[in-house]
Structure 1
Amino acid sequence: MFESQSIELPQHGVSDRSPQKHCATCHQSSSSPKLTSPSLAAAALPPFLISMGSPWAVAGALLVGLLIWHKKRLSARGALPPGPRPLPILGNILDLTPKELWLVATTWAKEFGDVVHVHILGQGLVFLSSPEATMDLLDRKGSIYGDKPTLVMAGELCGCDDMVAFTPYGEQSKRQRRLMNRALGMAAIPAYHPLIETETHSFIRNLVASPFKYMEHSRRYAGSLTLSVVYGYEVAGTDDKFLTLAEECVDILANKISSGGGIWPVDIFPALKHLPAWAPGSGFLAKADKWKAKMTEFVEQPYEFVKTSLKSGQYAPSFCSMLLEDAKTPTQQFEFDLRYTANSMYAASMDTTITTFCHFLLAMMLHPEVLARAQEEIDRVVGSDRLPTFSDRDSLPFVDAVLNEVYRWGVPVPLSLPHRLMEDDVYRGMFIPKGSLILANVWAISRDEGLFPNASAFLPERYLEKIDDPVLAKRRDPRSFVFVRPLDLVAGNMTDHACHLSHIYQHSRRCPGVSLVESSIWILLANAMATLDISKPKDEFGNVIEPKVDFNNSVFRVPDHFQCDIRPRSAHTLKVLRQTETTHS
């Protein structure tokens, strides 16, 4: 029988089999069964299918029949996009890896082109590795490429199916995004600036006090800021009850439900959700119940805090309080949508902030000349007696260039979350079947030598160059592929500036809250450069220690904790930081 845990691939990238371009008759795809994500698709056929005479043998036989039927269907429709040759039935299981799948996809792009098709047990996956293909399909054809795959384990069993990132395209997703646009649209962001600046100053002071805890401080900064903005809740400390609960839920989502880049058997065979508790292999159901209870707790408790605060009249303005006050007499449906919309904002904000800040530290440590140039600009524009504010942004072009290069060089999400094609489509003469999962290979786009000469180097000055061609300028703007234009803009619901702000929640499914996240990251990096010297660490004899940086995650490209020397620029800097504490107290 199968284990009640996720299934993982061997740790390798492209398989030893020689990749070959193929025709539609040897490369199969289907809209069913559904896998869940690029990393989750990396799985082996469960061994229980081999046991003839078991119920799984029947399921296996049905699967074989389904694949044969789809093979004939696809042959009649036309050629699929090229890709590595699949195994019979299993497809490209051995070609995928749960770690750094974007590197494998980039290798495929060099071999087969910018649109590559693979399949796992009949479920088609299409990787887009150029700005042209990404914009053509996920932006211009966003009305049919904007859906999300169904997640049985994460969604139905663990209670995530009503969160923004998991809701399929439809009325609920539209209602959720309308709520976010009302409270977190571009026009609303300046109202949050004082709060963001206060949290940023607190972060810098904590970082100066204990620089070796930079990962912990960045986690608290992201969590505290999000809880303040969304719920009007002030975090009391690192062991705060809501902060602890929120981090537990993020860990469940990132490291348990999506553990190791495997898939859950129930995602392949949904009928397994009906297994009785005593049945062998049903342990995943107990895990799901436990995780669902914790996720529900985080949905309900902070929201009830807001409602209680509103009734008492003692509350801080927030996303939830503003929408509840506007609603006056909120309906049950409104409150349901608001609960899950608010809850959905935490995980993405937290992981994105941590990822970007860690890559920023790494870049500044490796390139002290970049930090020195940014500090010179800040000193000239802002002076040394105060810290940068949002009003300084237009006067700090090199600081903006550093942020852009951090986005490109340290892409937080190198492979986008999957989109599900809602109907058959033909692109450049290639047939893409309904139900295919579409993934933008942002890593490959960010390393395109045609767009970014010497792409592996950290060169912020590339963003100071004047480009007369507007199409080329847009493609070179990291926020046009890291934050690609959403459907909201196509519908006329957002400003042109907002169209550049959609990296983390990519393409037509982009989250309106990204403007808030981007603003908080800018002020964080600007204040860090204004106050800190960042360099490689030294041993007790004064010898430089070369940093060792590893990446061991499959969705957000967060570096493992690395050694780094972080200290205030001067005694005067410390004095200015202490003044911010007095100002905000």
Structure 2
Amino acid sequence: PYPPGPKGYWLLGLIRIPMIKPWLTYVKWGKEYGDLIHFTRLGRHYLVINSLEAANEILERQARLTSDRPVHTELDRMFSLHFLGTAPYDDEWRAYRKLMHQNFRAVASIDYRPIEVKHVCKFLDRIDSPEISLKDQVSTLVHSLSQVIMYDSVYSLEISSNKENMPQHARDMAELFESFMIPGWDAFKSIPFIHLFPSWFPGGHHRINHEMLGKMVETFAEDLWQQTMKAMSDENQSSLMVKLFSEKQPQDRSNEDVELIKNMGMGAVAAATDTTMSAICTFFLAMSLYPDVQRKAQQELDSVLGHGKLPTFDDRSSLPYIDAVYLEVMRWHPAIPLGLYLQHVSIKDIYYKGYYIPKGQAMTHDESQFSKPDHFIPERHLNKENSISSILAYGFGRRVCVGRYMANDTMWITIASVLATKNISS
């Protein structure tokens, strides 16, 4: 049998799912139906995974079968194939992931640390006062930080402001992309020839927005490509993109090689645009709401480093409470609720505790296995064997975030540096 879940209308299924913070509804359902919740919408089956045990069993241990993405249509092809997170689970995706892994795995990410430190120091300088209020333009400054680090690391581009053309373009893409990632939209876009329907057809504005996003992706990719070509003529340029293109002579590069490298660079920048920024903003919010946590973290920094001294990555092992604050930021309010926007799809029928999960099933989950999950409590991570694999926000199985090591470094050095030099208030 299918797992239990809310019932909907005949043929239409469950059509009344809140579009604002739907994960809160999933958590509520979890208390009623259990750790697996099944529902249908517009002819498609969905499975909400509400426990770590179930997520590990289905998404980790059966990753080979549950790493696909929802059905890809003509509308998807306008943009989805450009990004590792949305591309289908096939040979092209494997080549894409291999390239990303080679350049953003744990060892490779160490090379980006000087760039991260440089821009975090600039970020601190831009905050004139030692007192930071959330009424200040914190989100604007953080957004700029998360983007300049990635532009510099991948393209050696110095972006002076988040108001410049390319950062703004990336943010616009992220906002439009998120508007499509809701349960039921993948069923709507699967209607045959939907990409040919006029704009006045019910839901036609979604098709128009899809086309708009496709054009935005093409423009963004071309802008970054032109920057790469310009850098290739500079002998002093040593960006990641230049290095990748220089590994093969022009006559040995296939069109597939070029597209793969272009997509990797663009995808890395686009991913950092929203997720890293959101996590750092969550840190500022948590510190303003939990001053006792902020005080404990600053006391640890002062005792280990001395008052006002900036931490380095070498200090991390001596700062367990700072690490716990970072881990709690990632647990408390993940940048993207797990599986909400990037759903898993099974490529074969599977079973879990006697429940049937058919091929093509979309999966999304939310976790609540911690005591007092709505409270920000870094102490829950102390005296534990924590690793980057324990951070659920980075995902599961073969769809785990490839850039997690660099994101981990960026967020930790930002959190530690801000706490060492600033006081955050509401």
Task: Give the TM-score taking structure 1 as reference length.
Answer: 0.67
Following superposition, the deviation at residue 223 of structure 1 comes to: 1.1
Alignment of 1:118-157 (within 5 A): 118-152=39-73, 155-156=76-77
Contact 1:152 1:266 in 2 (8 A): no
State the partner residue of 1:233: 157
Counterpart among 353, 372, 384 of residue 276 in structure 2: 353
Question: Are residues 1:313 and 2:235 paired?
Answer: yes
Question: Would you say 1:303 and 2:228 are equivalent positions?
Answer: no
Q: Are the counterparts in 1 of residues 327 and 391 from structure 2 also a CA contact under 8 Å?
A: no
Identity %: 27
Alignment correspondent of 1:457: 375
* CA displacement 1:2-43 (0-9 Å, x = unmatched): xxxxxxxxxxxxxxxxxxxxxxxxxxxxxxxxxxxxxxxxxx
**CA 1:265–1:133 in 2, change beyond 3 Å: closer, same or farther?**
closer
The change in CA–CA distance for 1:283 and 1:139 in structure 2 (over 3 A counts) is closer
Q: Cα–Cα, structure 1 residues 123 and 288, in superposed 2: closer, same or farther, change >3 Å?
A: closer
Q: Give the equivalent residue in structure 1 for 2:316.
A: 393
Are the equivalent residues in 1 in contact too, given 2:75–2:207 (CA < 8 A)?
A: no
State the alpha-carbon separation in 1 of the partners of residues 272 and 210 from structure 2: 24
Correspondence 1:202 to 2:122 = yes
**Aligned alpha-carbon RMSD (Å):** 2.4
Number of residue pairs the alignment of both structures matches? 418
Q: What TM-score results when the alignment is normalised by the length of structure 2?
A: 0.91
Task: Tell me, yes or no, if the aligned pair for 2:3 and 2:37 is still in contact at 8 Å.
Answer: yes
Which of residues 332, 335, 343 is equivalent to 1:418?
Answer: 343
Q: CA deviation at 1:403?
A: 0.7
Query: Secondary structure of the residue that 1:422 maps to in structure 2?
Result: coil
Higher relative contact order (CA 8 A, sep 6+): 2
SS of residue paired to 1:327: coil
Match among 168, 171, 196 for residue 88 of structure 2: 168
Residues 288 and 116 (structure 1), Cα distance of their counterparts in 2 relative to 1, 3 Å cut: closer
Q: 2:113 aligns with which of 193, 206, 221?
A: 193
Q: Is the 8 A contact 1:99 1:261 kept in 2?
A: no
AA aligned opposite 1:529: L
Unpaired segments ≥5 residues, structure 1: 1-78, 467-472, 484-502, 536-563, 565-585
The code of the aligned residue for 1:233 comes to L
**Highest Rg: 1 or 2?**
1
Corresponding residue SS for 1:105: helix
Q: 2:108 is paired with a residue of what secondary structure? A: helix
Equivalent residue in structure 2 for 1:427, among 334, 337, 352: 352
Distance 1:102 1:377 in 2: 35
Is contact 1:138–1:507 with CA below 8 Å preserved after alignment? yes
Aligned partners of 2:41 and 2:184 also within 8 Å: no
Q: Distance in 1 between matches of 2:51 and 2:201?
A: 47
Q: Deviations over 1:514-558 (max 9, x none)?
A: 2111110000000010011112xxxxxxxxxxxxxxxxxxxxxxx
Q: 1:435 deviation in Å?
A: 0.8
Deviations 1:362-381 (A, max 9, x none): 21112212111111111122
Contact between 1:405 and 1:460, CA under 8 Å: does it hold in 2? yes
Structure 2: stretches of 5+ with no match in the other structure:
none
Shift of 1:332: 1.5
Distance 2:202 2:337 in 1: 38
Q: Aligned residue for 2:137?
A: 213
| 1:330-369 correspondence runs (5 A) | 330-369=253-292
Name which of 398, 416, 419 aligns with 1:529.
419
CA-CA distance at 1:300 after TM superposition: 1.7
Q: Any idea what SS the aligned residue of 1:135 has?
A: helix
Q: Measure, in 2, the Cα distance between the counterparts of 1:251 and 1:328.
A: 38
Between 319-328 and 396-405, report the one with greater CA deviation.
319-328
Following superposition, the deviation at residue 478 of structure 1 comes to: 8.4
In 2 relative to 1, CA 434–147 (structure 1 residues): closer, same or farther, beyond 3 Å?
Answer: same
Q: CA 1:281/1:359 → structure 2, altered by over 3 Å: closer, same or farther?
A: closer
Q: 1:276 to 1:248 in 2, by over 3 A?
A: closer
- The AA in structure 1 aligned to 2:162 is T
- Is residue 97 of structure 1 aligned with residue 22 of structure 2? no
Spell out, residue by residue over 1:307-354, the C-alpha distance to the aligned partner (whole angstroms, 9 max, x if none): 221222142x33312222223443211110111121112232222222
Q: Tell me the CA shift for residue 402 of structure 1.
A: 0.8
Which residue of 2 is the match for residue 439 of structure 1? 364
- Report Cα offsets for 1:120-148 as digits up to 9, x if no partner: 12211011111111000100000000101
Task: From 79, 91, 114, give the equivalent of 1:159.
Answer: 79
> Offset at 1:150?
2.5
User: Is 1:84–2:6 an aligned residue pair?
Assistant: yes
Residue number in structure 2 paired with 1:490: none
* Alignment partners' CA distance in 2, 1:134 and 1:298: 35
Q: Which residue of 1 aligns with 2:189?
A: 267
**CA-CA distance at 1:176 after TM superposition:** 0.7
